[in-house]
Amino acid sequence: MTDVAASIATQTRAPKASGSRGLAGRVWIGSLLVLLTMLVLYPLFMLLLGAMSKVGPLSADFSIWAINFERLVGVATHATAQRALMNSFITCGLGTLLALVIGLFFAWMTERTDTPGKQVIGLVGLFPLFVPPLVAAIAWSLLGSPRTGLLNVVIGATGLPFRLNMFSYEGIIFVFGVYYAPYVYLFAAAALRNMDASLEEAAAIAGVGPMRTLFTITMPVIAPSLGSAALLCFVVTLGVWGVPAILGTQAKIPAITTYIYTLFQGNPPDYAGAAAASIYLVLITGIGVLLQRWLHSSRNAVTVTGKSTRPRVMTLGRWKYLTLAIGILYLLIAVVIPMLALMFIAFRRFIFVASFSAMFDTSLFGWANFDKLFADPHTMLSIWNSLIVGVTTAALGSVLCFALGYTIVRTRLPGRSVLDIVATLPVAVPSLVIGISYLWAWIAIPIGLYGTLGILVLASLARYLPDAMKSMTGTLGQAHRELEEASWVCGTGVLATIARIILPITWSGVAAAALLIFVLSIREYGATLFLYNNRTVLMPLLLVQLIEVSNLGIVAAYSLLQVAVLIGLTAVGWAIARISRRLGTARPTKISTREGANA
């Protein structure tokens, strides 16, 4: 390891190295590459083989050499698959458009207007991120069921002639739009915050009105960022199973993800068909991600320049109360009303609501659903397993991210760009597909990985690595080389320099990466949907299971439990990250003092 470290140091300082140090550097890169190959490339390779196989990996007839294109062609020409893909394009495309409108409005309101309480609204506007899309879809199915949805009962009581129907294209688009708006908001707010305001100032001096400036100056400047956010939102929603599964199944609106799931869950399961459909999904997502990256890295997207003026805040006058009202309405729609619906159903003995007044019949409320839920040992097991998988994935992920990030950003070792590409490859692979590829990769190999928490950790790690890498490489890139070089000049080795200099100053990035992996691992189900068993069930997976076999009261009760646990665990994780960041930032002072004294 010392040789490796020395080699990395050499390679960091000099582009070329020779002898044993060069060899050690190559070994280091090779080791990381082998790790990533097992984590990412091998499962994807097996997925591709699976798509070109006639039978599943469990079949005695399965051979990796029996390649054919039957299933790939079969899926591409299957009418349901084509319809599912078209439905996905429609719902995800229009959902993204809605998310764009909502996210942009919120960004504009919080960054460019004098709306009262905008900081709080901006913060609370991120709350939908704590409501997993699956839970959101369940809540809205309770609210907008065509005849007996709770909102329809209320609408009926007012005498209005219309009813909501969430089991429809509109319902799916609505949920995608509302719950993925925070993704757009984060991009758009950053772009608005960081853009050079001199053009807007010039427009103001020229007497152009604020709204015209907004649409003719501001929007075009941040358009590439918005386009990037929209593409990201589109590819993310394309890989979501829960929303179309809950809202589209009854209405017979298959999506590409529900189509894959149905193939997998069929009797007998069509593993090869699921793999083939997954390949197409990867291709489409990959194109989306490439476009998104191109937009994000294009010159047009550079809104951060040497700013001479702060963006002007628009005075809305009395209209500011309208923007405030719209902000509050969004929070009600995205968080408050769905949570109330879940609580209503979770605490009610049964779901039949004869009339508006019957909603308030307190004799029907109780803890029965929670009693049943906690009588099932899988409930507590799922929370415990989620904690284990979340913590393990976060710990391994942050170490791997740091090792990869450091190698990619701060060394000149040959092959580091390959590492970068492989590590970020899963961003173009929907979670559901990662799950299928892991199934193909590990189910038939008798090393005891399938059916363990270990495979859930690895699948989660592979899927969420690119997200964490983004945070890690960004932080590592910001750390100036001077500190590192000063350490080397003092004769400190690479590992000691990393431990004493780099790690403390980039600790916030490491903690953020760990927290991100932790939250995604315990919130999302896609990567693990095909890999768990009754002993390794996680919270979102148990929810999927309950949806299929339990009454809605229990589903609602568990949904609430999941949101509560998610918020609780995230808060704990955030507190730990914050404390460790403080400890981390406190250390360099002592180290630098000691290093200074040594020098």
Residues that bind other proteins (CB under 8 A): 58, 80, 84, 145-148, 250, 252, 254, 259, 262, 264-269, 349-354, 364, 368, 372, 375-377, 439, 443-444, 446, 448, 450-451, 533-535, 545, 547-552
- The residue among 8 and 552 lying less far from other proteins, judged by its C-beta, is 552
Residue 556 · residue 345 · CB < 8 Å: yes
CB of 361 to other proteins, least distance (A): 11
**Cis preceding linkage at 268, omega within 30:** yes
CA 120-123-127 angle, 5° bins: 125
Rounded to a whole number of angstroms, the minimum distance from the CB of residue 167 to other proteins is: 9
* CB distance 323 to 211 below 8 Å: no
- Beta carbons of 96 and 180 less than 8 angstroms apart: yes
CA distance 505 to 480: 10
Nearest approach, Cβ of residue 281 and other proteins (Å): 16
Smallest distance, Å, CB 381 to other proteins? 9
Closer Cβ to other proteins, 158 or 363, answer by number: 363
Burial of 77 (0-12, 13-18, 19+ CB in 10 A): exposed
CB of 452 to other proteins, least distance (A): 8
Please give the single-letter amino acid code of residue 506: T
**Choice between 11 and 87, CB closer to other proteins:** 87
Toward other proteins, which CB reaches closer, 78 or 293?
78
> Residue 37 or residue 551: which is nearer to other proteins going by CB?
551
Residue number with CB closer to other proteins (16 or 147) = 147
Q: Between 554 and 577, whose beta carbon lies closer to other proteins?
A: 554
Provide the CA 265 distance to its chain's centre, in angstroms.
Answer: 25
Question: CB–CB of 511/575 below 8 Å?
Answer: no
Nearer to other proteins, 136 or 153 (CB): 153
Residue 460 CA to residue 146 CA, distance in Å, equals: 37
Which residues, in sequence order, are bridge partners of residue 195? 304
Contact between residue 466 and residue 423 where contact means Cβ atoms under 8 Å apart: yes
- The encoded tokens of residue 69 equal 């294109």
Task: Give the shortest CB-251-to-other proteins separation in angstroms.
Answer: 9
Nearest approach, Cβ of residue 53 and other proteins (Å): 15
- In this complex, which beta carbon is closest to other proteins, that of residue 262 or of residue 473? 262
Query: Structure tokens of 461?
Result: 């790690």
Q: How far apart are CB 114 and other proteins at their closest, in Å? A: 46
Q: For helices 507-523 and 453-478, what crossing angle results, to 10°?
A: 150
Nearest distance from C-beta of residue 355 to other proteins, angstroms: 11
Decide whether 349 or 481 has the Cβ nearer to other proteins: 349
In the complex with other proteins, the residue whose CB is nearer, 270 or 595, is: 270
- Residue 341 tokens, joined: 């619906």
**Are the beta carbons of 275 and 56 closer than 8 angstroms?**
no
Cβ distance 191 to 226 under 8 Å?
yes
Closest contact distance (angstroms) between CB of 61 and other proteins is 13
The C-alpha atoms of residue 560 and residue 548 are separated, in whole angstroms, by 17
For residues 147 and 480, which CB has a smaller minimum distance to other proteins in the complex? 147
β-bridge partners, 314: 113
For other proteins, the closer CB: 441 or 519? 441
Q: What distance in Å separates the CA atoms of residue 55 and residue 40, rounded to the nearest whole number?
A: 23
Nearest one of 187, 220, 9, 191 to 99, comparing CA atoms: 187
Q: Are 254 and 91 in contact (CB under 8 A)?
A: no
The Cα 403–Cα 498 span in angstroms is 10
- Which is nearest to 338 in space by CA: 521, 178, 548, 569? 178
Q: How far is the CB of 542 from other proteins (least distance, A)?
A: 11
Q: Shortest gap between Cβ of 10 and other proteins (angstroms)?
A: 46
Q: How far is the CB of 367 from other proteins (least distance, A)?
A: 13
Q: Which residue number, 62 or 234, has a Cβ lying nearer to other proteins?
A: 62
Q: Which residue has the tokens 């458009």?
A: 97
> What secondary structure, in 3-state letters, does 153-196 show?
HHHHHHCCCCCCCCCCHHHHHHHHHHHHHHHHHHHHHHHHHHEC
CB of 256 to other proteins, least distance (A): 12
Short-list 417, 410, 579, CA closest to 502: 410
DSSP lists the bridge partners of residue 113 as 314
Name every residue whose Cβ is closer than 8 Å to that of residue 376 and which is 6 or more positions away in sequence. Answer: none
